[in-house]
Amino acid sequence: MILFDSEWAEHIAVAEATKSALREPFARVVAACAASLKGGGKLLFFGNGGSAADAQHLATEFTIRYKADRAAMAALALTTDTSALTAAGNDLGFEHIFSRQIEALGRRGDVAIGITTSGKSANIVKALSTARAMGLATVAFSGSGGGEAARVVDHALIVPSAVTARVQEMHITLGQMLCAALELELGLVKP
C-alpha cells in the first residue's frame, strides 16, 4: 500500500501546483479556442503515444459530447488517420507527420493544440511552428518546463512536473476542463 499512498500524494501535489500555476494561461486558451469556434474554426489536436490517445479522447469529447448532449464543436485528432501518418512518416519523415496534416487541413482562425509531456517531440514542435507560420493560434500542453514546444506557441499550459504519468493526468484534466469551459462560453449547455 506504500505505492498506492505515494502515487496519490504525488498526484494531488501536482494537481494543486497545476491549479496554482495555470489559472490565467488556461483562461487565455479558453478565449483563443472560443474565438476560433465562434468564427467557424476548428481545434486540431495531436500528440505521440499516450498524448496521441489524449488527442483522440479530447477531440471526441468536443465533437460528440462531454457530460451532456449539445451541439457539436469542430475538433479533430491528427493522430487517427493511419494512412496519412504512415505515408508522411515513410515519404517525408516522422518529423512531418503532423505538420503535413496542418498544411492540408489547417486554416487561419483554427487552433493547433500539440500535446507533449516533455515539450521536446520534434514532430510536435514542427507542427506547432508550421501552424503558427500559417496564422493558426497555437497551444502546447506540456510538462518538464515546456521544452521547445512552449517557445514556439501563442499559449502554453505547462504542468509543473517532470513525471510523465503526472503530466498526462493533468493534460487530460485540463483538456476536459477546456471542453466544459467552451460548452459554457459558447452557450451550448446551461451553467
Q: What is the pTM of this model?
A: 0.97
Give pLDDT tens digits along the chain (191 positions).
899 999 999 999 999 999 999 999 999 999 999 999 999 999 999 999 999 999 999 999 999 999 999 999 999 999 999 999 999 999 999 999 999 999 999 999 999 999 999 999 999 999 999 999 999 999 999 999 999 999 999 999 999 999 999 999 999 999 999 999 999 999 999 98
Domain that holds residue 47: 2-185
> Cα dihedral sign for 138, 182, 110, 79?
positive
Residue 74 covered by a domain: yes
Query: Which amino acid, residue 105?
Result: L
Residue 100 covered by a domain: yes
**What's the confidence (pLDDT) of residue 1?**
84
Structural domain count, the chain: 1
Residue 51 covered by a domain: yes
Q: What is the DSSP string of the chain?
A: -HHHHHHHHHHHHHHHHHHHHHHHHHHHHHHHHHHHHHTT--EEEEESTHHHHHHHHHHHHHHT-SSS------EEETTS-HHHHHHHHHHT-GGGTTHHHHHHH--TT-EEEEE-SSS--HHHHHHHHHHHHTT-EEEEEE-TT-HHHHHSSSEEEE-S---HHHHHHHHHHHHHHHHHHHHHHTTSS--
Residue 191 covered by a domain: no
Residue 174 covered by a domain: yes
Question: The domain that contains 168 carries what CATH number?
Answer: 3.40.50.10490
